[in-house]
Every structure is written in structure tokens, then in C-alpha cells.
Structure 1
Amino acid sequence: MDGVHRAGMPGVYAEVRDAGQTWRGASGVADVRTGRPVRPDMRQRVGSITKTFTAAAIMQQVEQGRIQLDAPIGGYLPRLVPGERGRKITVRMLLNHTSGISDYLPYAFPSLQGLPSAPDVSPESLDDNRFRQFRSAELIEMGLTAPPVGEPGGPTGVYSNTNYLLLGQLLEQVTGTTAEEYITRNVIERAGLRHTEFPAGPRIKGPHSRMYEALYGLIDPPRDYSVYNMSWVGPSAGLVSTMEDLNRFYGKLLDGKIVNQSSLAQMQRTLPVRALDGSTIEYGLGLHKVGIPGCGTFWGHDGTVWGAGTMSLTRADGERQMSVAINLVRWNKLDSSGKPQHHPIDDALSALYQQAMCGNGNAQVENASQVPAFVP
């Protein structure tokens, strides 16, 4: 972790569990101006790790017979997804990103369209939307209006936050309460998490770091976005949590304590999905599968929101767990072709993952390419 800080990361903190033993550590600062140190118990905006919580909530409703995985979404939400798409796209396709529905992010943040290579990309939208209150239906419409990224139910998927906003609306439809309230009562509280919540406003309660966004060098020096209205992601990526809570959650999920074993088996049926950064990941229903040669198979998710990156992975046997938080994202500057340039932070994070997941220097996690990239 000290290596990650030395490479240019302001602050990094983590919790690693191995066969009943727990290690927590932190390196660097939570505030570059004051030098306030980062601590391992700090709260973090965990981005798309939220998707696992939302997927677990959906699977609970599947178990109760209120939702069918292979039923068309138009049957549940005819106004939001009308016509042929509503008949072709199933609940499962939303969960595993094979719906073909575009991500709404480039339309909610128009100054980022074409990121990272477009010449006129700017961070203007990030500041414009800091306190904006989005409605889920408004964001969903942006995604549905955009050109589709594939045919529903194809052999490969394309990652889209629109899918999980639709799942949030589905939860509301079948439970009679908001997705955030349902997930809080039936997933967060069931897992015994004490520091995990959907924030009520733009500020994070409790001890936390500032969160620095570099946007591939377009914001220099990086800007703090820890105060932000998270209505732009909601049940797709809006949660605040701690590294301890994340390890507890994934441990209980993989042990069949949040959903039953049949639901878990469905969640672990993976296919190739193209992530927002262009890489390909093995994705199930709200879960990444990560195979590390010589170390094992891990399950979990990663997440990024403006200024904050988080990764949580648990080995298939539940014995080894890693949750890592960083407070600077998109640190790679772009070359003349718009491609992110290699940075020492990449190698340092690779070394950290290797040590945290495998406990030794033997497993090969080349430039972190074996694990999910930090994407929204």
C-alpha cells in the first residue's frame, strides 16, 4: 500500500481477511491540502459495487415468486420499456448487461461524450451536475432513446448503468417501496452492515476521505468530488460503505446468507461483457468472476464514481477476501491518439492486488489486467 501511495495515489486503504484472520491498513492522506491521514475504517462511495446489492434484492424477489428472471421487463414496466424492446428484454438481460440498452451517462454528462479520445471532452458536466437531482425515469429515457449497443440476449453483453436503474424501478413496482429502502432493509440489514447506506443528501456521514478526480489529466490538479448528489446513479452505484462492511457482505452472500444457493448459482452464471473502459470482464448477475492463475477464482465487483475507486473480491471458498479503496481515479493522462498512458500507479496497484489476494509474489496479475478495471 505504501508503494501505491508513493506512485502517486493520495490515499489507499484496505481490509484483507484470510482463514479467520483480519488485516486492515492505510497509506497516505485523505486530504492533500491539510495532510489529514487516511484510515482503514473510512467510508467510501463504492460505485458499481452497489449493483451486487441490487442484484441480490432482485433475486430475493425471484425466490418469493414476485419476479421471474426470464420474464419480459415490459410486462412489469410497460410505460418505461414499451413495445418490442419491452417484450424482448428480460429481467436476466438487465442483470447481466445483455439487454442491448445504452448507458445514459454520456447524455446525463454531455461534456464527457467521446471520453477519453474526443478532442472537446471537458469536466464541465461534473460541476454542472454536482447538486442536480435526477429522476430515474429521466435517466432511463436517455439510455432507451440512445442507439442500442446490441441485440437483446446476445452471447456477449455491454455494461450499462441504465439496466440497473430499470431494476431499481422493478423493485419499486413489485415491493411497493423504493429500491433504496428495500435494499437497506433486506440486504444491508440482513448482512449486518453498520456503515453502509444510500446517502440522503450530497454529503457523506461519518469519517471519509476527499475524493479526487483527474479525468485523464483534464482536471489538473485533481478536484475533490466527495460532496455530490448521487441521484445520477441511485441503485446502480450510489452506496457508501466501508471495506469491513464490503468483506462482510460478500462473505455472507457467497455463503448463501443473503440469497439461497439456487439464486447464488444463477448469479454466478457468467458471460463476456464489455466494460465502460473497453475491457472484457466475466459477468454474472451483479457479480464479476476473476480467475487468478495459481491463486484461485474470486467473486465480487469494482466501482468508481467521481473521485473514488473501490474493489472487493472474495475467493470462491470464502477464505480469502480483499476490499481496497482509493481516493484518486482516472490518473492516466492521454497520449496523442487519446489512449490512456501507463502510470506507476498501475504497477503499484497490481502488486497490491497480488499480495492481498494471493498472499505472495507468485501469482501473476499483470498490470491489474486480470482484475476488473475501476469503471463507473
Structure 2
Amino acid sequence: MRKPLDRAALDAAIADVHRAGLPGLFAEVRDGDRVWRGAAGVADVATGRPVTADMRHRVGSITKTFTAAAVLQQAESGRIGLDTPIGHYLPKLVPGERGDAITVRMLINHTSGLPEYLPYAYPSLKGFPVLADTRPESLDDHRYTRFDPVELIGMGVRAPAAGTPGGPLGVYSNTNYLLLVELLEQTTGIPAEQCITRNVIERAGLTDTGFPTGPKIDGPHSRLYEAWLGMIDPPRDYSVYDMSFVGPSASLISTVADLNHFYGALLAGRIVSPSSLEQMQRTGPVVSQEGRTIEYGLGLYPMEGPGEGVFWGHGGTVWGGGTLAMTRADGGRQLAVAVNLQRWNTLDSSGTPQPHPIDDALATFHRVAMYG
């Protein structure tokens, strides 16, 4: 049985996450025409400035849903073939047999076998995806670095493969989505940011979502605190950062209200066609950057819990910030939540991340928000 939106329970659950150790978080939950917005904690640990539910936030890989939607729109118009090899479009970036074997669809659903480029762009992350084998120094070294996306793609393409194109188990990789960005630019003849803004952001009617024009976040926002598994103590603010290291694959700035509007519009068929949406919701197993195996579609993944209905959406992280946006398949219930601390778990002597009270408190908030 579906439970109605319980404002008191949501107020208590979001406050519990702050009490568990998260500096600040804010969220919006929608249930039909009823809306709850809440915030707990601080946006600045030095001044005590509080977080508010209308703050702008770096949403990380939630951007991938926007990018995937833009690619699918081009496929609907016949300009891009989802099962056409990427080497047909970008032979210089993915040459030879690899370019012939990897299709556009494999890039969108992370089954291309192309590895993550970040450990090569950020030398102290060379142990990635095993975070215990990494160090955070490169985060400071590259705070204002302006990366060339073609060079980043080259790092991923030249690195040892993470799998076989179209294989049974995908591996999540930003290399895939930087290639999709290049594909959009070649197909449309305009920058990918402009294409996504015009065809996705504006079509969804979003007024507080856009790509950064510099290292700062415009408008009211929180500082973003990175702990890097206890290696940065106290956690350091990375809210000012050049996001060219991920570009239009993960650099969007938005609000929790806009994210709910976007996923509501997407699942209602107002961004891509019903057939494209159905393809976005065809999933297969993909190893996430946290090492978990998730079901992943074309820029979307599902979440199921103790209540009725499957939720669809995406999560995202940046240095210091995290976001999750999930909408029930029928559009009737939505959650978007933003947090201003990342990688809060410390490591034990074997290098294994240890449970933290934030984990359980945040999971409880998600459960209350999505299922009542």
C-alpha cells in the first residue's frame, strides 16, 4: 500500500542524517501535487551558514541522463544510429578494430570495455577503483587545470581495456560519456553544452540548471567538503573547481526542484519518445565506480525498495558533493537530495571502508522519502 507524504517523518529523517555527521543536506520530495522541501545542517562549517532547499549544487553524473537523452533525440531524428560503431563517427578518437566493435549504445550503457581515464589524469588516483590505493593530492594539483577532452579520451582509449565490447558485465566509465559529448558536437555542429541546454534543459522547462562557465558555482550554494576516506582531515572545501576534468558528462549545476521536474518530464515522455524511454529502461549489469554491480540502462538506473513501484533516476558525485534523484515509474513520487560531504568512511588496517552512521541515516531518509 502506498503511503502518503509524511512531513514530520521527513523532517526527522533529514535531521538524523545531519546528526549522524553530515555537515549539510537538502532535498525535495513530491507525491502527486504535494511537495515537501527540507534542509538540515550547514553550508559552511566555519561560519555556520545554514543550508537551504533552494541551493544550487554540482550534480555530477546525474548529467549523464541529460547527455543520454540528447543522444537519443539525435537517434530519433536519424542523425545517430545507436547500434552504429563509434569508429564510423569518431575514427580518430577510437581507431581500428575497437572503433568497429564499440557501438554508440555500448557507450551509453557502459558496456564498451573502455576504462576510466581519471587515474591517468590524476596521478595520485592511480590505484583507482581501489580507493585504498589512492591519495588525494591530485585534487589540489588540478583545482584550476583546464583539461582538453580529446586528451582525456585518449588516456582512456590507450589504457588497458576494462572489458570486452558488448560483454556480459559492463564497467562504469566517464570515457564513454566524453565520447558521447564529442559525438553530439560532431552531429549537431554546436557545443554539447548548447545542444543539451536547448534540447533537454529548456525542453524540460528547467530554470535553475546549467553548465558552469568557470570554477565557481553561481547563485546560493553550499561549500563541498571532501574527506577522501579520512585522508583529508578535516575535510577540505572543493566547491571552487574547474570541472573540465569531466566536462558535459558530469558537470551540470542544478537544484533539487529542477531535478525532480526533469525526471518527471523524462518519465512522462516529454523529453524523448516512448520508444526511446523504453530503451533507456532496458538494463544490464554494470560495475559501478564504488565496485558494486548495478543494473544500468541508457543513462538511467532503477532502485527498488520495500514499497510499491520501481524508481528510475541517477546519482552523482563530485569532489565534496553528492546528489541522488529518483522518480517512481508512474511519476507519482519523487526524491532529489543533495549532500555536501563525500567519502566520509574511514579505512581499517586492511584498507576496507568502515561503516559510518551517515550510511544508515541516509539510507533511512531515502526509504522514508521514496516509500513512506
TM-score normalized by the length of structure 1: 0.94
Indicate if the aligned counterparts of 1:116 and 1:339 stay in contact, CA closer than 8 A.
no
1:197, distance to aligned residue in structure 2 (A): 0.6
Distance (whole Å) between structure 2 residues aligned to residue 295 and residue 266 of structure 1? 22
Indicate if the aligned counterparts of 1:297 and 1:315 stay in contact, CA closer than 8 A.
yes
> Within the alignment, does 1:233 sit opposite 2:246 as a pair?
yes
Distance (whole Å) between structure 2 residues aligned to residue 161 and residue 66 of structure 1? 23
> Within the alignment, does 1:209 sit opposite 2:194 as a pair?
no
1:46 maps to what in 2? Answer: 59
> Within the alignment, does 1:111 sit opposite 2:147 as a pair?
no
Which one of 59, 65, 83 corresponds to residue 96 of structure 2?
83
Residue type of the alignment partner of 1:104: Y
Residue type of the alignment partner of 2:199: N
- Secondary structure of residue in 2 paired with 1:296: coil
1:24 maps to what in 2? Answer: 37
> Within the alignment, does 1:127 sit opposite 2:112 as a pair?
no
1:293, distance to aligned residue in structure 2 (A): 3.4
Segments of structure 1 that go 5 or more residues without pairing to the other structure are: 360-376
Which one of 285, 310, 322 corresponds to residue 297 of structure 1?
310
Distance (whole Å) between structure 1 residues aligned to residue 136 and residue 355 of structure 2? 22
Residue type of the alignment partner of 1:55: A
Distance (whole Å) between structure 1 residues aligned to residue 347 and residue 45 of structure 2? 24
Indicate if the aligned counterparts of 1:212 and 1:327 stay in contact, CA closer than 8 A.
yes
1:284-330 CA distances to partner (integer Å, 9 max, x unpaired)?
Answer: 00001112233320000000000000000000110000000000000
2:79 maps to what in 1? Answer: 66
Indicate if the aligned counterparts of 2:228 and 2:342 stay in contact, CA closer than 8 A.
yes
2:150 maps to what in 1? Answer: 137
- Secondary structure of residue in 1 paired with 2:310: strand
Which one of 332, 352, 360 corresponds to residue 365 of structure 2?
352
Distance (whole Å) between structure 2 residues aligned to residue 319 and residue 109 of structure 1? 42
2:8 maps to what in 1? Answer: none
Indicate if the aligned counterparts of 1:282 and 1:290 stay in contact, CA closer than 8 A.
no
1:329 maps to what in 2? Answer: 342
2:353 maps to what in 1? Answer: 340
Distance (whole Å) between structure 1 residues aligned to residue 302 and residue 316 of structure 2? 15
1:260 maps to what in 2? Answer: 273
Alpha-carbon distance change, 19 to 55 in structure 1, aligned in 2, over 3 angstroms: same
Distance (whole Å) between structure 2 residues aligned to residue 165 and residue 194 of structure 1? 25
1:148 maps to what in 2? Answer: 161
1:181-239 CA distances to partner (integer Å, 9 max, x unpaired)?
Answer: 10011100111111101000000100000000000000000000000000000121110
2:4 maps to what in 1? Answer: none
1:115, distance to aligned residue in structure 2 (A): 4.3
1:255-303 CA distances to partner (integer Å, 9 max, x unpaired)?
Answer: 0000010110111100010001100111000001112233320000000
1:122, distance to aligned residue in structure 2 (A): 2.0
Indicate if the aligned counterparts of 2:132 and 2:352 stay in contact, CA closer than 8 A.
no
> Within the alignment, does 1:101 sit opposite 2:124 as a pair?
no
Indicate if the aligned counterparts of 2:305 and 2:367 stay in contact, CA closer than 8 A.
no
1:169, distance to aligned residue in structure 2 (A): 0.1
Indicate if the aligned counterparts of 1:116 and 1:338 stay in contact, CA closer than 8 A.
no
Indicate if the aligned counterparts of 1:52 and 1:287 stay in contact, CA closer than 8 A.
yes
1:121, distance to aligned residue in structure 2 (A): 3.0
Residue type of the alignment partner of 2:76: E
Q: What do you get for the CA RMSD once the two structures are aligned?
A: 1.0
1:117, distance to aligned residue in structure 2 (A): 5.2
1:119, distance to aligned residue in structure 2 (A): 6.7
- Secondary structure of residue in 1 paired with 2:304: strand
TM-score normalized by the length of structure 2: 0.95
2:26 maps to what in 1? Answer: 13
1:27-77 CA distances to partner (integer Å, 9 max, x unpaired)?
Answer: 000000000000000000000000000000000000100000000000000
Distance (whole Å) between structure 1 residues aligned to residue 130 and residue 353 of structure 2? 9
Which one of 234, 250, 266 corresponds to residue 263 of structure 2?
250
Alpha-carbon distance change, 87 to 18 in structure 1, aligned in 2, over 3 angstroms: same
Distance (whole Å) between structure 1 residues aligned to residue 246 and residue 286 of structure 2? 20
Distance (whole Å) between structure 2 residues aligned to residue 28 and residue 116 of structure 1? 31
Indicate if the aligned counterparts of 2:216 and 2:240 stay in contact, CA closer than 8 A.
yes
2:213 maps to what in 1? Answer: 200
Distance (whole Å) between structure 2 residues aligned to residue 232 and residue 169 of structure 1? 14
Distance (whole Å) between structure 2 residues aligned to residue 152 and residue 103 of structure 1? 15
Indicate if the aligned counterparts of 1:254 and 1:264 stay in contact, CA closer than 8 A.
yes
